[in-house]
Amino acid sequence: MVQEINIALIGNPNVGKTSLFNALTGSRQHVGNWPGVTVEKKTGERRHQGSTIKITDLPGTYSLEARSPDEKVANAHIMSGHPDVVVQVVDSTNMERNLYLTTQLLDMGQKVVLALNMSDMADARGDRLDLKAFSKGWGVPAVRISATRGEGLEDLLDTIISTFKDRSVPSPAVNFGAEIEGNISEVEAMLRSGGAGGTSPRWTAIRLLEGIEKVEEATADAGLRAKLTAALEGVDRDEVEMDLVDRRYVAITSLLDRTYVRGSEKRSLSDAIDRVVTHKYLGLPIFLTMMWGLFELTFTAAQPFVSAIGLGFEWLAAFVVENVQPDWLASMLGDGAIAGVGSVLVFLPNILVMFLLIALLEASGYLSRAAFIMDRIMTKMGLHGKSFIPMLLGLGCNVPAIMATRTIEDEKSRLITILSAPYISCSARLPVYVLLAGIFFPDNAGTALFLLYLLGIVVAVGSALLFRHTILKSETSPFIMELPPYRLPRLKNTILQMWDRGSMYLRKAGTFILAGAIIVWLLASLPWGVEYGSEESLVGAIGHLIEPFLAPLGFDWRIGVALVFGFIAKEIVVGSLGVLYGAVEGAGLEEAIALSMSAPSAAALMVFVLIYTPCVAALAAIRKETGSWKWTLFSVVYSLILAYIAAFIVYQVGLLIW
Partner 1 sequence: MTESNNKSALISAAMGLAFIAMGLLEMAAVVIDPSVEIMLYLSSGGNILLALVLLFTGVVLLNAAMRFRNGTDGEAFLVVGCMLALFVGLVVSLTLAASATEAYLFGSEDFVDWSLADDFTPAIPMMIPSLAVLLSALRSFRSTAQEPAA
Rule CB under 8 A: say whether 285 interacts with partner 1.
Answer: yes
Nearer to partner 1, 55 or 445 (CB): 445
Q: Which of 297, 321, 526, 546 binds partner 1 (CB under 8 A)?
A: 297
Q: Which of 273, 321, 504, 526 binds partner 1 (CB under 8 A)?
A: 273
> What is the radius of gyration, based on Cα positions, of the chain?
29
Nearer to partner 1, 433 or 608 (CB): 433
Q: How far is the CB of 33 from partner 1 (least distance, A)?
A: 17
Question: Measured between alpha carbons, how far is 636 from 622 in angstroms, rounded to an integer?
Answer: 10
Question: Measured between alpha carbons, how far is 177 from 68 in angstroms, rounded to an integer?
Answer: 30
Nearer to partner 1, 296 or 556 (CB): 296
Grouping H, G, I as helix, E, B as strand and the rest as coil, residue 482 is: coil
Rule CB under 8 A: say whether 487 interacts with partner 1.
Answer: no
Interacting positions 401-430 with partner 1 (CB under 8 A): none
Strand partners, 114: 88, 142
Q: Which of 26, 126, 139, 182 binds partner 1 (CB under 8 A)?
A: 126
Question: Measured between alpha carbons, how far is 53 from 580 in angstroms, rounded to an integer?
Answer: 54
Best CA proximity match to 218, nearest among 196, 194, 186, 188: 196
Question: Measured between alpha carbons, how far is 433 from 439 in angstroms, rounded to an integer?
Answer: 10
**Using CB under 8 A, which of the segments 119-127, 134-142, 542-550, 618-626 binds partner 1?**
119-127
**Using CB under 8 A, which of the segments 89-97, 149-157, 231-239, 293-301 binds partner 1?**
293-301
Residue 80, exposed/middle/buried by CB under 10 A (0-12, 13-18, 19+)? exposed
Nearer to partner 1, 303 or 652 (CB): 303
**Using CB under 8 A, which of the segments 11-19, 55-63, 118-126, 419-427 binds partner 1?**
118-126
Rule CB under 8 A: say whether 376 interacts with partner 1.
Answer: no
Interacting positions 231-270 with partner 1 (CB under 8 A): 261-269
Nearer to partner 1, 211 or 293 (CB): 293
How many chain residues bind partner 1 (CB under 8 A)? 42
Question: Measured between alpha carbons, how far is 571 from 98 in angstroms, rounded to an integer?
Answer: 43
Rule CB under 8 A: say whether 311 interacts with partner 1.
Answer: yes
Nearer to partner 1, 34 or 486 (CB): 486
**Using CB under 8 A, which of the segments 195-203, 237-245, 275-283, 472-480 binds partner 1?**
275-283
**Using CB under 8 A, which of the segments 19-27, 279-287, 368-376, 527-535 binds partner 1?**
279-287
Question: Are the C-beta atoms of 359 and 497 separated by less than 8 Å?
Answer: yes
Question: Measured between alpha carbons, how far is 474 from 384 in angstroms, rounded to an integer?
Answer: 10
Nearer to partner 1, 139 or 588 (CB): 588
**Using CB under 8 A, which of the segments 50-58, 271-279, 339-347, 511-519 binds partner 1?**
271-279
Q: How far is the CB of 315 from partner 1 (least distance, A)?
A: 13
Grouping H, G, I as helix, E, B as strand and the rest as coil, residue 46 is: strand
Question: Are the C-beta atoms of 36 and 17 separated by less than 8 Å?
Answer: no
Q: Which of 133, 230, 250, 272 binds partner 1 (CB under 8 A)?
A: 272
**Using CB under 8 A, which of the segments 214-222, 227-235, 289-297, 334-342 binds partner 1?**
289-297
Rule CB under 8 A: say whether 303 interacts with partner 1.
Answer: yes
Strand partners, 10: 88
Q: How far is the CB of 261 from partner 1 (least distance, A)?
A: 4
Beta-carbon contacts of residue 39 (< 8 Å; ≥ 6 apart):
59, 69, 70, 73, 403, 404, 406, 407
Question: Are the C-beta atoms of 446 and 335 separated by less than 8 Å?
Answer: no
Nearer to partner 1, 311 or 318 (CB): 311
Question: Measured between alpha carbons, how far is 91 from 76 in angstroms, rounded to an integer?
Answer: 23
Q: Which of 229, 444, 477, 511 binds partner 1 (CB under 8 A)?
A: 444
DSSP 278: T
What is the DSSP code string of 340-384? HHHHHHTTHHHHHHHHHHHHHHHHHTHHHHHHHHHHHHHHHTT--
Rule CB under 8 A: say whether 171 interacts with partner 1.
Answer: no
Q: Which of 139, 150, 304, 552 binds partner 1 (CB under 8 A)?
A: 304
Residue 391, exposed/middle/buried by CB under 10 A (0-12, 13-18, 19+)? buried
Nearer to partner 1, 264 or 325 (CB): 264
Rule CB under 8 A: say whether 510 interacts with partner 1.
Answer: no
**Using CB under 8 A, which of the segments 209-217, 307-315, 405-413, 558-566 binds partner 1?**
307-315
**Using CB under 8 A, which of the segments 97-105, 419-427, 443-451, 520-528 binds partner 1?**
443-451
Interacting positions 575-594 with partner 1 (CB under 8 A): none
**What phi and psi, each to the nearest 5 degrees, are found at residue 91?**
-80, 110
Nearer to partner 1, 286 or 620 (CB): 286
Question: Are the C-beta atoms of 378 and 384 separated by less than 8 Å?
Answer: yes
Q: How far is the CB of 492 from partner 1 (least distance, A)?
A: 21
What own/partner pairs with CB < 8 Å and gap ≥ 24 does 277-286 have? 277/366, 277/369, 277/373, 278/369, 278/372, 278/373, 278/483, 283/369, 283/372, 283/373, 283/376, 284/373, 284/377
Nearer to partner 1, 155 or 296 (CB): 296
Q: How far is the CB of 152 from partner 1 (least distance, A)?
A: 21
Residue 48, exposed/middle/buried by CB under 10 A (0-12, 13-18, 19+)? middle
Interacting positions 127-146 with partner 1 (CB under 8 A): 127-128
Rule CB under 8 A: say whether 312 interacts with partner 1.
Answer: no
DSSP 550: H
Nearer to partner 1, 282 or 321 (CB): 282
Question: Measured between alpha carbons, how far is 384 from 467 in angstroms, rounded to an integer?
Answer: 12
Q: How far is the CB of 504 from partner 1 (least distance, A)?
A: 25
What is the DSSP code string of 117-177? E-HHHHHHHT-EE-HHHHHHHHT--EEE-BTTTTBTHHHHHHHHHHHHH--SPP--S----
Nearer to partner 1, 235 or 284 (CB): 284
Binding site for partner 1 (CB under 8 A): 124-128, 261-269, 272-273, 275-277, 282, 285-286, 289-290, 292-293, 296-297, 300-304, 307-308, 311, 442-444, 446-447, 450
